[in-house]
Amino acid sequence: MANRILIVDDQRDISRLLRSALETIEQGLDVSEAPSGEEALLEASRVPVDLLVVDYRLPGMSGVELIGKMRARYPEMKFIVISGMTETKAQEEIEKSGAYAFFVKPIPMADFLGTVEACLGLARTVLQEPKEQKPEEKDTLVDLLVGLRKELSAESVFLLNGMGYVEAETGEILNADKRASLISSLMGMHNAAQKVASLLGKNKLHLHVFDGDVTDLVFLPVGTSHVLWASGRGLGDLGSISATLDVLNASKAKVLEILEQLEVEEAPVEEEAAPGGTPAYMESVTIPIEFDELLKKSADVKVDANAFWDQAIEQGPQYTEPDKLTYEQAAQLGLAPKKDEEKK
């Protein structure tokens, strides 16, 4: 009887890729897909499933919650977890779930197929290449932020570029529905602070601390193009802010090193106008394109004043506001003196 595998992932391109790969190893596998945990439970109730390949983050119940429900109903079922998350909390949950293996996206396909064969006790058809040992392997931005979050005992750590786009993140912020508004406000504050700090000659050394009722937030620049923010309880306490700042400053150097390896260019520092130059409030204002075009057209069309009035008289009165009366209409209605009465 063919082994049956159920892939549970709401990203259809990933589930289809895994399904195609499993079907190519010619092990007679019966592979199907489900986009959510609820649909996976329904599918497993119809046909027995030998192996569940499940994403950690799913709409509705999580992958770990689905494993718990499946294990209670089908004790013989085996599980492999895939995820794009590398957080310590997620890895701990996956380890406690009793999954046979865990793969981080993008999934190394040869390792995945070999693990499936081993999990189901099938003959090995996929040769797994030995992993290269890299004694001086460099940390990624995500690895660095994960370590920083752990060291600070923070709820989340974010690295943003100068446009407010998230370059790397770890953890969850409170009130996730306000995430976009929070980032926008922080970047507006950062840009204003960069200007002030630049005037003082310290454009890389300003710091912002928010001591909130529920969570604190520390926000500081990394070079001239990026900003680092950490949120969590106690980060804004005056008694511990010095230690927090030491940790963040140590991480800044590592972040800049990784950004340099990724060939991310630092934004040029704006130079102040030389003494005697044009003050900021007298600088020319940028005119929107549509207004600029209208102004050009009005400048090109030149009409003689006498010709304009001659044309107006020939055309007669033009009424563009029907809810208003002309003088003649008002006189006819007795609302204004007629011309003959005015002469008297």
pLDDT tens digits, 149-184: 888 888 888 888 777 777 777 777 666 667 777 777
Q: How many CB atoms lie within 10 A of CB 56?
A: 25
- For residue 101, give the 3-state DSSP assignment: strand
Average predicted confidence (pLDDT) for the chain: 76
Give the integer Cα–Cα distance in Å for 331 and 343.
14
- Tokens representing 48 are 């027995």
Q: Is the dihedral of CA 20, 25, 28, 30 positive or negative?
A: negative
Least-confidence region, from 40-49, 226-235, 247-256: 247-256
Give the integer Cα–Cα distance in Å for 89 and 98.
15
User: pLDDT-derived band of residue 147, with 50, 70 and 90 as boundaries?
Assistant: confident
38, pLDDT greater than 90: yes
User: Which domains, and CATH codes, for the chain?
Assistant: 4-120 (3.40.50.2300), 141-261 (3.30.450.30), 289-338 (no CATH)
Give the integer Cα–Cα distance in Å for 282 and 188.
23
7 or 152: which carries more pLDDT confidence?
Answer: 7
Rounded to 5°, the CA angle 106-94-169 comes to: 55
- Tokens representing 162 are 């100068």
304 phi, psi to nearest 5 deg: -65, 135
DSSP state of 130: P
User: pLDDT-derived band of residue 280, with 50, 70 and 90 as boundaries?
Assistant: very low
Residue 7's region, left for phi above 0, alpha for psi from -120 to 50, else beta, is beta
Give the integer Cα–Cα distance in Å for 210 and 218.
6
